[in-house]
Structure 1
Amino acid sequence: MDSTRTTRPSAGLVLVWALTRLVLLLFVLKVFVFPGPDVTSDVSGIYRGWYEVLRTGTFPLDDVTWQYPPAAALAILSPALLFFLDYAQAFFVLAFLADLAVLALLLWAGLRPGRSSRGAWTWVVGVPLLGPTVYARYDVMVTAVAVAALLAGVGRPRLMGALTGFAAMLKVWPVLLLVGAVRRRAWAAAAVTAGVLAALFPLLMPGAFAFLTFQRDRGTEVESLGGLVFHVARQFGWDGEVLLNYGSVEFLGPYVDVVSAAALALTGMAFGWLVLWRLLASRFLPHTLAEAAFVAVLLFTTTSRVISPQYMVWLVGLAAVCLCFSRTTMLLPARLVLVASFVTVLEFPVWFSHVVASDPLGVTLLFVRNGLLVLASVTAARALWRSTVPRAGAGTPLPGRPARTEDPVSP
């Protein structure tokens, strides 16, 4: 094979990545001003405040905005590694390095037999579509660990499990990476890793699990699928209000608890569908692990009562892993996620004031973005089902019977 033909796409990809990430850094460092509210205020204000508390050896026990598993403290404390920079600058550099790590992983995966560079391109294109918010939240760091876990999962289940357990203690959602895992070693390694961290943190720092009590009184976030109910209701005189509550802008008032319960019910239905799929699926290909993780996180994100812009980073990362495989069935859902990412940056931060006001522009943006997520969820779930569950009469295994797997392609 001509070596120049294999290196040119990677060189172009890296160049596009470098240029777009330079622009993101210039935005978060405020060399350029991105339209809308300042997305870096969470780092310079909230994260920095948590950092000052965490460095004393305790979690933010009295701060209801701290709603993260205990290992999240490592992400918040990590800027101390770059002691020669101020906190915000150090955080942005570390987010940039996490972004670079994801690129390196996807490039490495895409060069192997049966793989594709589409995954790396998905990441290169998808991240800048979300704007500077990506570098102003620690979700890109969690996504880097999740991507490493999925790429390790095909041939190294113990490593995948350990990385998944660690990622789940950074932010809960990576536990969904195990939905498509067929090897018990992955589940066991995840349980051991998470268990050790869960036991260790309370011994070292008081209040490691105080965050569990801070979710109870949350409302419905204005960008969520359920939030559309109140955006429309406000046009007809709904007398609730929009407030900064528990770290996000939420609807509070009549019937919010009903809509929140409905969102929880939708999430429960999504979980039920995943359980049914797991019982009936009998055809597990090398890309099934990543596809199942993508579908699971997509379903739970779409049905959640909170859809923060940074959640889209998770979906872009998992979609990129799926597209590393030449035979993936997630091409259309991945494209829908990329379009939804672009609409996301328009609704936050560019025109977030319109979203908060529930005016025609804001409501239209949310209908489009959330509609794209719903469409992506349906098409992704359908594709996963059709590629793994045999049709009636085609030898569907009985529940509890070991699922059949095909020879994996080691990463």
Structure 2
Amino acid sequence: MSKPNQGALSGLRVVELGQLLAGPFCGQLLGDMGAEVIKVEPPGKGDPMRDWGQGKEKVQWEVIARNKKSVTANLRLPEGQDIVRKLIGTADILIENFKPGTLEKWRLAPDDLLLEFPGLIIARMSGYGQNGPYSARAGFGGIGEAMGGWRYIVGDPDRPPARMGISIGDTLCATYGCIGVLAALQSREKTGKGQVIDTALYEAVLQVMEGLIPEYDHNGFIRERSGSILPGIAPSNVYRCKDGHFMIGANGDAIFARLAQAMDQPELAEDELYATHIARGNNQKVLDDIVNAWTERLTVDELERAMTEYSIPAGRVYTAPDMLADPHFSAREAIVEVETKRFGKLKMQNAVPKFSETPSSIRSPAPAVPGQDNGEVFSTLFGWDNAKQMELEQKGVI
């Protein structure tokens, strides 16, 4: 599969050195927006992400490695380091998410790279950042979620901290890394200079924690686990139906008045216990019980029709089969079918956001094997013939 590249980042080259999630997800975002992404994998098994995912066959790789070319280089050998340095010299952007100090150990220190390639943009993602007393510690996304405050507030109040069912710390770090790259590209347009972007997992998580810090600093208030609700925001919860569950967010005064009408209990909107945002928050449990008593008499379809009729923000709690069957997902092409090398046609989430003039796209499937594109990349960029590549392969360099 090969589609025309109309993406906003078309013409830019990215070298991706990261493994698993944070670095590769940043590469996925840039690749979706049109950048040429050359992923460097260790010879042999390649990125461990190739074996990640749920179900019998591991297909998560097909999403995170789409729009990428795979080359191999053994970064533990000087010759492998030289290859990667040469590759970086052809690129606009370098992505890495190794433990701080690793690039330096491989003779790829960012300060040295910027001296040689002054326009290079280097996105570094790590658990704790490139400096500070914890910088040398190993850090995964879950550790960043814990340190950044996410894990403590997720779950039911009578149980230990829980987690979201995805690696949100890694993808947040990658997303902020991508934002940094885009800002650095704009800066380079004005100055001609590249720079280093230092994104820490725990700081990326902290960035989305809303008022958690000032609430403690000013009020002495510590957020606690609250299950399926946000304390003081009511009614806003997942409610029971005859045949499933349904999310309703009717916490605004006017919206709540419409919900009360839909429930055939318009007096609720006038009751001093529920008439205002503060009052509803103070009586959140009782109000949720009232709403639940009503929704339990309806099917999901019936409740959805009522919420649409009264213009109340609400929706089904979707699983993957629900998404694939939903006409809105289809109309917006939120899910697309990609012809992969290993699994044939595979449905996955499309690129986001949508651009009116420079559309992002999935132009090529994930590389089936590590080093799949060695021949193309090394011959095109370095002029190496097959004999040169065979020699390096026999040495274990690629």
**TM > 0.5:** no
Larger radius of gyration: 2
Q: Which is richer in helix? A: 1
After TM superposition, the score normalised by the length of structure 2 is 0.23
Q: Which is richer in strand? A: 2
After TM superposition, the score normalised by the length of structure 1 is 0.23
